[in-house]
Amino acid sequence: MREGEIQLNRANLASLIAVLALLIVPHGDHLPWWLIGVLGLLFSWRLFLISIQGRLPPSWLLLPFTVSLIIGVYVEFKTLFGRTGGVALLSVLIGLKLMETRGRRDALLLVFLGYFLVVTNFLFSQSFAMAVYLLLIVTVITALLVGWNSVGWNRLEGFSPLTHLVTAGKLLLQAVPLMVLLFVFFPRIEGPLWRLPQDRSSAKGGLADSMSPGSFSNLSQSDEVAFRVEFLGTVPPHGALYWRGPVFEQYDGTTWSQIPLGSEPPAPVEGIGPAVQYQLTLEPHQRPWLLALDAPAQSPGNGRISDRMQAVANGPVVKRDRYALASWLDYRMGKQQATLMLQRSLLLPRGNPKARALAAGWKALPPAQRVTAALAYYDSQPFTYTLQPPLYQGDAIDRFLFEGRQGFCEHYAGSFVFLMRAAGVPARVVGGYQGGELNPAGNYLIVRQADAHAWAEVWLEGRGWQRIDPTATVAPDRVDLGLARSVAQSESLPMMVRVDANWLRGVRLGLDAAVNAWNQWIIGYTPDQQMKLLRQLGISNLASYQFVAWFLGMIMAMTLPLAAWLLWHLRGPNPPPEVKAWRSFCHKLEKAGVEVRPSEPPLALSQRACAALPEHAEAIATIIGQYLALRYLGEASAEGIVQLKQQIAAFKPRRT
Partner 1 sequence: MDHAITTRLHSALAQINGLILGKKTQIELAVACLLARGHLLIEDVPGVGKTTLAHTLAATLGLAFQRVQFTSDMLPADLIGVSIYERPTGEFRFHPGPIFNQVILADEINRATPKTQSALLEAMEERQVTQDGVTRPLPDPFFVIATQNPAHQIGTFPLPESQLDRFLMRITLGYPDPAAERAMLMGEDRRELLQRLAPALTPSDLGALQAEVRKVHVAPALVDYLQALIHASRESAEFVNGLSPRAALGLLMVARAWALLAGRHAVLPDDIQAVFPGVATHRLLARGSNRPQPELVAKLLSDVAIP
Residues that bind partner 1 (CB under 8 A): 6, 152-155, 597-604, 628, 631-634
Q: From CA 593, how far away is CA 588, in angstroms rounded? A: 9
Under 8 Å between Cβ of 610 and 631: no
Q: From CA 156, how far away is CA 9, in angstroms rounded? A: 7
Instruction: Choose between 490 and 599: whose C-beta lies nearer to partner 1.
Output: 599
Nearest to 323 by CA among 291, 356, 287: 291
Instruction: Choose between 185 and 627: whose C-beta lies nearer to partner 1.
Output: 627
Instruction: Choose between 485 and 583: whose C-beta lies nearer to partner 1.
Output: 583
Nearest to 98 by CA among 52, 48, 147: 48
Instruction: Choose between 549 and 579: whose C-beta lies nearer to partner 1.
Output: 579
Q: What is the signed CA dihedral for 139, 144, 147, 148, rounded to 10 degrees?
A: -150
Instruction: Choose between 7 and 221: whose C-beta lies nearer to partner 1.
Output: 7
C-beta of 5: minimal distance to partner 1 in Å? 13
C-beta of 603: minimal distance to partner 1 in Å? 4
- The secondary structure of residue 235, as a DSSP letter, is P
Instruction: Choose between 262 and 598: whose C-beta lies nearer to partner 1.
Output: 598
What separation, in Å, do the N-terminal and C-terminal C-alpha atoms of the chain show?
39
> Could you tell me whether strands 406-407 and 384-385 are parallel, antiparallel, or unpaired per DSSP bridges?
parallel
Under 8 Å between Cβ of 217 and 389: yes
C-beta of 141: minimal distance to partner 1 in Å? 21
* Active-site residue set: 409, 453, 469
Side-chain-side CA neighbours of residue 557 (13 Å): 7
C-beta of 33: minimal distance to partner 1 in Å? 43
Nearest to 383 by CA among 471, 457, 456: 471
C-beta of 645: minimal distance to partner 1 in Å? 18
Asked, as a colleague might, if the bond just before 236 is cis with ω within 30 of 0, I would say no
Instruction: Choose between 237 and 576: whose C-beta lies nearer to partner 1.
Output: 576
Under 8 Å between Cβ of 547 and 539: yes
C-beta of 100: minimal distance to partner 1 in Å? 21
C-beta of 149: minimal distance to partner 1 in Å? 11
Instruction: Choose between 8 and 456: whose C-beta lies nearer to partner 1.
Output: 8
Phi, psi of 498 (to 5 degrees): -70, 165
C-beta of 638: minimal distance to partner 1 in Å? 17
Cα angle for residues 187, 188, 190 (degrees, 5° grid): 135
Sign of the C-alpha dihedral, residues 556, 561, 566, 567? positive
C-beta of 34: minimal distance to partner 1 in Å? 41
> Where is 227: in which H helix or E strand?
strand 225-231
Q: From CA 617, how far away is CA 610, in angstroms rounded? A: 4
Q: What number of H helices and E strands is found in the chain?
A: 23, 19
Instruction: Choose between 338 and 579: whose C-beta lies nearer to partner 1.
Output: 579
Phi, psi of 413 (to 5 degrees): -65, -45
Under 8 Å between Cβ of 102 and 7: yes
Asked, as a colleague might, if the bond just before 64 is cis with ω within 30 of 0, I would say no
